[in-house]
Structure 1
Amino acid sequence: MDVHNKWTDLPKAPSLKNLTEGRFGELKDRQHAAVQDLTKAHIQSFDQAVTDGLSRVVQAIPPLEFKYKNDRISLSFVEATIHSPSVGKGSICKELKVFPAECRGRRCSYKGKLVADVSWSVNGHPKGIIKQSLGHVPIMVKSKLCNLYNMSPKELVEHHEEAEEMGGYFIVNGIEKVIRMLIMPRRNYPIAMCRPKWKNRGQGYTQYGISMRCVKEEHTAINMNLHYLENGMVMVNFIYHKELFFLPLGFALKALVDFSDFQIYKELIKGREDNSFHKACASEMLRVVVEEGCTTRSKVLSYLGKRFRVKMNLPEWYTNEQCATYLLDECICIHLKSEVEKFYLLCLMTRKLFTFAKQECMEENCDSIMCQEVLTPGQLYLMFLKERMAAWLVSVKLSIDKRGSKLVSSWSSDNMMRIFNTGSDQSKAFEYLLATGNLNSKTGLGMLQNTGLCVVADKLNFIRYLSHFRCVHRGAAFAKMRTTSVRKLLPESWGFLCPVHTPDGEPCGLMNHMTASCEIVASSLPTTSLPALLCSLGMTPVDGSPGQAFSDCYPVVLDGAFVGWVEADLAPAVVSSLRRFKVQREKRIPPWTEIVLVPITGKASLYPGLFLFTTPCRMMRPVHNLALGQQELIGTFEQLYVNVGILEDEVEAGVTTHQEHFPHSMLSVVANFIPYSDHNQSPRNMYQCQMGKREENSESRQNIYSLPFPSDRLYIYLFSVPVN
């Protein structure tokens, strides 16, 4: 993620140098950086998906094991590569590379070959690795895999592209398609929710629950809920292959760790040791497990595996314990790798659920941007790619079952290559997704919708075109709701979502646009060194005992993992040190880290804790840190607990911690085009954002207004690009 001080070096006044310098109209050596930044969120997410993300997908796909006759076959991916678009082998041509202009003219798709190394074994004996083509997948224009990558304006024009080509879209059947960025719940964060419809899920269910959208490193997502029952019990709810399952919390806790019942009980009541009702509920949850005869972890795993294996497509030789372990890995807190980490997180969520059910903390607003992130094109692309690669393994298994007697006389590499060639081609699945915007998935990918995911990048004019890449949509499901709460402009969105750039009519408030300075995190760095750093700053590990009572300590959560406790008196100093390390690039803390300290207020406010986020797909924006005198990126949740001033006279010593780089940081790129927007009524700015996108221009890039006599004190920046 680019965090240089580009927003601090803006010109102080408008300039007419493009009209006065002698080289006006000549092709520059480099493209205009401000124009290229418009599609950066799309391109960076795709680059991350096809490089680091693809390698993680290969590691995350479990081996497919099955039995054919008397042999046990195992298939697994070792490595996968996506190649740049090129002509097929055997073609006679001067240039092997395929460029976007050719695909537009020929009405074909701009795609590259997906090649994977598949390892196969028989009865546990490795037989080798076969390099196999899985089909062609679409390539985003101007990404690292695109043949236009890093071209100069002169080279772009030679390949029949615009000198300021931005990219960020796919070409399917000659049509430019953009994957919409959608608003999703913040990943790996437990959200306290109150839903009256949850009462209909069974006898004794209440409207109180804790919801978490768990997302792995390769962006595989699953929604998990904890439900509070009238008798004080807690049920874990998860979705597996679009089916809803419920599991008593006691079974989940005992299946994860080999702790005694007393250890589990002590962990559940931390911070609420004086609450007799909570202690009785914790005892009852564990008593239910014992009454089923599950006194040890192995018995609990066997109990769960026996009941869930009918829903899992696992080999018949798997034991019940292996089936239960697979269930816990794929459905319970999937973003955590260690079962001990899952145990401690479930205990933290349970404590938060009881606090919320007793009205000791407030409900978190799912419509607030603090509880949201963005589904980027690269994330959707990677999730769908993982599912299709797993489906290819299943298609090979079906081919062996159907044609195995004809093709397999002996288990040789040549015979196996013939079988691999009968596997399903992934080209049509991706083209269908981009051409129609409809998601055809067996698992649902943790999405809230399966239609309207892609739109045509129409070039009615440049303003309409760039709006596609800065737009974030709330989701198609919310457009049918009669309530207006999802459309409200909340103060938390200041600086992240533009308050005036939204359509009028049905999509009003649902289709928003990011501000000019808002960026989306695409990169991810390992955070294995952060727990040790936190301990050096005074944090107590999760299995330790702090110097004060647990009720006087903050839980520390790092990317959805409960890592320890920090005393309330020490927490502000820890946050200050972390923020200094973040701004000054020290201690390996990523600059896009979000540091949130939710304070203990003694009232029913947000659940207190120290939350650290380094995950991708979050919205961040630059502000000026007054204490350190440097630029800092802050997130949507973090902004609630920092004091940001706009103008110099608003800065109050000891209170204001940050300051905006410029007063109009709340506006989007299109809204910044409006001259003297602060002299307009707010609806007029909204109308102008839409009217600017409806003007048909013969040129692809023009300004809205022509100012023959510009004022010498123009308080709005007109970001314009000269038409060559």
Structure 2
Amino acid sequence: MNIYVGSPDVEEGFNITKPISPHECRLRDMTYSAPITVDIEYTRGTQRVIRKHLPIGRMPIMLRSSNCILTGKSPAELAKLNECPLDPGGYFVVRGSEKVILIQEQLSKNRMIVELDRKGMVSCNVTSSTHERKSRTVVILKKGRHYIKHNSLTEDVPIVVVFKALGLESDQEVVQMVGTEDSLMSQFAPNLEECHRLQIFTQTQALNYIGSKLRQRQRWGGQIKTKVDEARDLLTNTVLTHVPLISLLFEDLFKKFNSELKKIADQIIPKPSRAALFDVVKHMRQDKITNGLNTAISTGNWSLKRFKMERAGVTQILSRLSYISALGMMTRISSQFEKTRKVSGPRSLQPSQWGMLCPSDTPEGEACGLVKNLALMTHITTDLDEQPITKVAFNLGVEDVSLLSGEEVSSSEV
């Protein structure tokens, strides 16, 4: 199945569409959106049916994005379309009003944060996150030895066992990854001894050990997975998991759209009299995806049932009091932390935000430090092809990390 997002248009009668500009949408209280079309292929009885560019809903288009009609236009062409050449874009026109998705602040994910825990011991935690799952892994220090702590494990697993499960079977490789300085090696030695005491020397033994410590065994197609498969699954999909909001919302709506189609097909196909006449295209409802996207952007309440995510105030009406107020609105950063709680931690200046967020532009009162703004010179970059940068880096003498040993990576001399 291929999926496409077209260019913004409006239906002017039965099956007659014409291109539309953002200004016309503002005046006519319409949504500036484009059709989402798919290519599908299915079998009906013995017949194989292929349908191209079948509409499944409409996607609100962000102004000045690649699908917007304003992209690449000169100031004179923009003026003809009743748009100000200095308008920054980056917002949506939904049901006639301009809506901005605020930048959402959240804890750094896939980053190691080293801190003192409640008992005063040093711990390192990583919130590992993808669009599907989120999990927190902690490396703790206990009796001079390091352990990995995770909710899905019944007890803490020695760190060297995890290294061996990941494929570093020799102790030399493990030490090289950690560091070969004498002080580090003497501190790390108890971890190697612990692994030897448990009689774990190979990757399979390590995976078996981790598999035996899992809280819950999963069934796969009615069969229980082996301990080794379970452990491998845990390490790759949970401990080391590494999508923006709209794609999440579309994915959630698309899954609902598919499940409703499947439900209808399951009701009709078992009946022999109706199965031959069944055409899946007639049951594809476009309004589900269209209304879901429009409602989320216009109300600001994003409810993703599959990911158990409920967020309010994600979008706001673009303030047009002045040019500066419109720009200020675009750079506002909203935190998900509750404003009523009198906690200073989330409100204080974070070192990781230095140079990116303004240290003084924040409201007084309960929202102080929770609503922030980007610094004046901040420029938000978008996803670009990394191939040219990789080429330049290699030409400048950068070496491929996968070809180096742990000692070479952590050595201060290289």
User: Under TM normalisation by the shorter chain, which class is it?
Assistant: 0.7 to 0.9
Shift of 1:519: 0.8
Aligned equivalents of 2:391, 2:38: Cα separation in 1:
35
Q: Which residue of 2 aligns with 1:455?
A: 316
Amino acid of the structure 2 residue aligned with 1:383: L
Aligned equivalents of 1:492, 1:429: Cα separation in 2:
35
Give yes or no for contact 1:268–1:282 (8 Å, CA) kept in 2: no
Are positions 1:175 and 2:36 aligned together?
no
Aligned equivalents of 2:205, 2:410: Cα separation in 1:
34
Q: Deviations over 1:374-398 (max 9, x none)?
A: xxxx932233334444454444444
Q: Which residue of 2 aligns with 1:383?
A: 248
Are positions 1:106 and 2:28 aligned together?
yes
Aligned equivalents of 1:467, 1:139: Cα separation in 2:
21
Shift of 1:180: 0.5
Q: Deviations over 1:127-171 (max 9, x none)?
A: 786555332121112222123333344444444444544321112
Shift of 1:498: 2.7
- Counterpart among 424, 430, 439 of residue 293 in structure 2: 430
Shift of 1:96: 0.6
Aligned equivalents of 2:190, 2:273: Cα separation in 1:
62
Aligned equivalents of 1:419, 1:319: Cα separation in 2:
41
Q: Which residue of 2 aligns with 1:81?
A: 4
Are positions 1:295 and 2:210 aligned together?
no
Are positions 1:230 and 2:142 aligned together?
yes
Give yes or no for contact 1:459–1:465 (8 Å, CA) kept in 2: yes
Shift in alpha-carbon separation, 1:167–1:280, aligned structure 2, 3 A:
same
Aligned equivalents of 1:419, 1:325: Cα separation in 2:
44
Give yes or no for contact 1:254–1:300 (8 Å, CA) kept in 2: no
Aligned equivalents of 2:372, 2:301: Cα separation in 1:
22
- Consecutive unaligned residues of structure 1, counting only runs of 5 or more, are 1-77, 122-126, 200-204, 238-243, 336-377, 547-563, 571-724
Aligned equivalents of 1:286, 1:88: Cα separation in 2:
72
Helix, strand or coil at the partner of 1:440: strand
Aligned equivalents of 1:155, 1:161: Cα separation in 2:
9
Shift of 1:496: 2.8
Amino acid of the structure 1 residue aligned with 2:314: L
- Counterpart among 65, 78, 86 of residue 143 in structure 1: 65
- Counterpart among 165, 170, 194 of residue 284 in structure 1: 194
List aligned pairs for 1:625-640, cutoff 5 A. Answer: none
Q: Which residue of 2 aligns with 1:334?
A: 241
Q: Deviations over 1:555-611 (max 9, x none)?
A: xxxxxxxxx6153244xxxxxxxxxxxxxxxxxxxxxxxxxxxxxxxxxxxxxxxxx
Q: Which residue of 1 aligns with 2:405?
A: 544
List aligned pairs for 1:483-498, cutoff 5 A. Answer: 483-489=343-349, 495-498=355-358
Shift in alpha-carbon separation, 1:308–1:118, aligned structure 2, 3 A:
farther
Give yes or no for contact 1:176–1:457 (8 Å, CA) kept in 2: yes
Helix, strand or coil at the partner of 2:106: strand
Amino acid of the structure 1 residue aligned with 2:304: S
- Counterpart among 113, 121, 146 of residue 191 in structure 1: 113
Q: TM-score, with normalisation over the residues of structure 2?
A: 0.75
Helix, strand or coil at the partner of 1:278: helix
Q: Which residue of 2 aligns with 1:533?
A: 394
- Consecutive unaligned residues of structure 2, counting only runs of 5 or more, are none
Aligned equivalents of 1:501, 1:256: Cα separation in 2:
46
Shift of 1:181: 0.8
Aligned equivalents of 1:328, 1:114: Cα separation in 2:
37
List aligned pairs for 1:129-528, cutoff 5 A. Answer: 131=52, 132-162=54-84, 164-196=86-118, 208-214=123-129, 222-228=134-140, 230-231=142-143, 232=145, 234-237=147-150, 245-246=152-153, 248-249=156-157, 253=163, 255-257=165-167, 260=169, 262=171, 266=175, 270-271=179-180, 275=185, 278-284=188-194, 295=205, 297=207, 299=208, 307-309=216-218, 315-316=221-222, 320=226, 327-335=234-242, 379-406=244-271, 415=278, 417-418=280-281, 421=284, 425-442=288-305, 444=307, 450-473=311-334, 475-477=335-337, 479-489=339-349, 495-526=355-386
Shift in alpha-carbon separation, 1:425–1:545, aligned structure 2, 3 A:
closer
Amino acid of the structure 2 residue aligned with 1:226: V
Aligned equivalents of 2:200, 2:263: Cα separation in 1:
42
Deviates more, 1:167-176 or 1:527-536: 527-536
Shift of 1:467: 0.9
Identity of aligned residues (%): 20
Q: Deviations over 1:463-498 (max 9, x none)?
A: 22221112223x131534423343334677554333
Give yes or no for contact 2:401–2:409 (8 Å, CA) kept in 1: yes
Shift in alpha-carbon separation, 1:514–1:478, aligned structure 2, 3 A:
same
Helix, strand or coil at the partner of 1:87: strand
Give yes or no for contact 2:178–2:406 (8 Å, CA) kept in 1: no
Aligned equivalents of 2:225, 2:115: Cα separation in 1:
37
Between the two proteins, the alignment pairs up a number of residues equal to 402
Shift of 1:254: 5.2
Shift in alpha-carbon separation, 1:88–1:255, aligned structure 2, 3 A:
farther
Amino acid of the structure 1 residue aligned with 2:3: A
Give yes or no for contact 2:337–2:370 (8 Å, CA) kept in 1: no
Aligned equivalents of 2:262, 2:411: Cα separation in 1:
55
Q: Deviations over 1:14-48 (max 9, x none)?
A: xxxxxxxxxxxxxxxxxxxxxxxxxxxxxxxxxxx
Q: Deviations over 1:258-286 (max 9, x none)?
A: x5475775567644766556333344367
Q: Please provide the CA RMSD for this pair.
A: 4.6
Aligned equivalents of 2:197, 2:51: Cα separation in 1:
52
Give yes or no for contact 1:185–1:213 (8 Å, CA) kept in 2: no
List aligned pairs for 1:583-662, cutoff 5 A. Answer: none
Aligned equivalents of 2:182, 2:317: Cα separation in 1:
58
Give yes or no for contact 2:358–2:373 (8 Å, CA) kept in 1: yes
Shift in alpha-carbon separation, 1:444–1:451, aligned structure 2, 3 A:
farther
